[in-house]
Every structure is written in structure tokens, then in C-alpha cells.
């Protein structure tokens, strides 16, 4: 980091659930304008999760953290799907109390079976994230996962939160008159139930012979 000032940011990246330090996290610092074409400085956290940026001038800075298996983190981020906050640094200020929490990605798995308990293969299962927006619950589509040959589905790389697993179904409706005719035909055994079902499914009218 170019020595454009005497400010300093010393911080630590921790697991948001356990509070344990997270090593080998890439921490990126962005802030006041730098030399044209200069890339934002980056450092790796130590075995104890610590990182350090020195030689900083006054201004507002953003700290972003990334590591495989974790949701991207940021200074001031309070929840997995939330945003970060700007860290304001005064002249020659030394900030040594910065903590960046990081959440591990989650996964959801389950099985889809029929009424007899047999697995259903190739069924698309939709994952919807549930969140509160404007004081009301809302569902946001995340992904679709098909069941395998065991009827099992699995969705990975999910931001921790509340989810709903849903299967779309198709419901067919039959006019009341058609239902009454179908019942009458079956009751009088004028045609076989199988043939009646075929006729009803094709939309043909039922009649006694």
C-alpha cells in the first residue's frame, strides 16, 4: 500500500457463527482516489485471521473479504444477505478494532416420493428464499434442482436464511355435468371404467350404449 498517510487499519476476519478466526481470506481495501490504473490493495489474513493496511490517508474506506466456501464479507455487514458500511478514517487515525464476519454457504437436500413412498426421478424442485420486505413475507426464486435416480435433490452454495422447497403441480378441472355423467356411466356399467376415463380425458361426451 503506498504510503500516502500515517493512518492504519488493523482488523480480523471471523466466522459469524462460531466466532473463530478465518485464515487465508483475501481482504480488499477501496477508498479515496488513487493513482490512475492502480488496483485496490489486497492482503491475506494470517492464521489468526488478522489483516493490516498501513500508510493510509484520511477518507472513507470499504473493506471486502472473500474466501471459497464463504459468502463474501464486508466491514459493517450484519447478516449474510446484507451490505457493508464505510469506515471513516481521520488524519493519522489508527483503527485496531475492525471485525469482518463471514458466513459459510449452506445447502439443502431432501427426497421426493409418491403416495406409495417410491422415489420420483427427474422432478424439478424449486428453491425459494423467504424474507421480509416492507413488513410482509416475500418469496424470491433461487434455483431449480432435479431429483436423481433415488428421488433426492440437493442445492448448494446457498446464502444462509429461510427457504421453501416447492414442486409445481398441475390440477385439471372437470365441469360438474361431466362428473355426474361419469359417475352415472360407472354406476350402470354401460362401459368399462377404463374406457370412461379415456373418454373423459379426451374431452368427449359420455353416453350410454
Give pLDDT tens digits for 178-192: 666 655 655 555 444
Give the pLDDT mean for 56-66. Answer: 96
Whole-angstrom Cα distance, residue 155 to residue 149? Answer: 16
* Whether the predicted pLDDT of 83 surpasses 70: yes
Q: What is the mean pLDDT of the chain?
A: 84
Let me know how long the chain is.
209
* Whether the predicted pLDDT of 173 surpasses 80: no
* Whether the predicted pLDDT of 172 surpasses 70: no
Query: Lowest-confidence range among 28-37, 53-62, 166-175?
Result: 166-175
Give the pLDDT confidence score for residue 35 in this predicted structure: 67
Give the pLDDT confidence score for residue 39 in this predicted structure: 85
Pairing outcome for strands 42-44 and 26-30: antiparallel
Q: Using alpha carbons, select from 10, 14, 28 the residue that is nearest to residue 89.
A: 10
* Whether the predicted pLDDT of 3 surpasses 50: no
Whole-angstrom Cα distance, residue 26 to residue 23? Answer: 9
Q: Which three cell numbers stand for residue 25?
A: 481470506
Biggest distance spanned by C-alpha atoms of the chain: 99
Residue 133: band (very low, low, confident or very high) from pLDDT cuts 50, 70, 90: confident
Q: Which three cell numbers stand for residue 193?
A: 371404467
Whole-angstrom Cα distance, residue 56 to residue 1? Answer: 8
Question: 193-202 and 176-188 are packed helices; what angle lies between their axes, rounded to 10 degrees?
Answer: 160
Give the pLDDT mean for 142-163. Answer: 95
Q: Where are the alpha helices (DSSP H) in 100-146?
A: none
Whole-angstrom Cα distance, residue 27 to residue 25? Answer: 6
The angle subtended at Cα 50 by Cα 45 and Cα 54, nearest 5°, is 95
Report how far apart the first and last C-alpha atoms of the chain are (Å, whole number): 92
Give the pLDDT confidence score for residue 93 in this predicted structure: 96
CB 175 within 8 A of CB 206: no
* Selected residue with higher pLDDT from 116 and 170: 116
Amino acid at each position: 500500500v503506498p504510503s500516502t498517510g500515517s493512518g492504519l487499519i488493523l482488523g480480523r476476519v471471523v466466522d459469524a457463527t462460531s466466532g473463530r478466526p478465518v485464515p487465508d481470506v483475501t481482504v480488499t481495501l477501496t477508498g479515496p482516489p488513487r493513482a490512475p490504473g492502480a488496483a485496490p490493495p489486497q492482503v491475506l489474513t494470517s492464521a489468526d485471521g488478522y489483516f493490516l493496511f498501513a500508510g493510509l490517508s484520511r477518507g472513507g474506506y470499504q473493506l471486502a473479504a472473500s474466501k471459497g466456501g464463504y459468502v463474501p464479507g464486508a466491514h459493517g455487514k450484519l447478516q449474510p444477505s446484507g451490505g457493508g458500511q464505510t469506515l471513516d478514517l481521520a488524519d493519522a487515525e489508527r483503527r485496531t478494532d475492525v471485525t469482518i464476519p463471514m458466513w459459510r454457504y449452506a445447502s439443502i437436500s431432501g427426497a421426493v416420493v409418491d403416495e406409495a413412498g417410491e422415489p420420483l426421478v427427474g422432478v424439478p424442485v424449486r428453491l425459494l428464499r423467504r424474507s421480509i420486505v416492507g413488513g410482509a413475507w416475500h418469496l424470491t426464486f433461487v434455483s431449480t434442482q432435479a431429483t436423481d435416480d433415488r428421488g433426492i435433490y440437493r442445492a448448494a452454495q446457498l446464502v444462509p436464511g429461510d427457504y421453501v422447497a416447492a414442486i409445481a403441480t398441475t390440477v385439471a378441472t372437470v365441469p360438474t355435468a361431466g362428473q355426474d355423467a361419469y359417475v352415472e356411466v360407472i354406476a350402470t356399467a354401460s362401459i368399462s371404467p377404463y374406457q370412461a376415463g379415456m373418454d373423459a380425458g379426451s374431452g368427449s361426451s359420455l353416453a350410454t350404449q
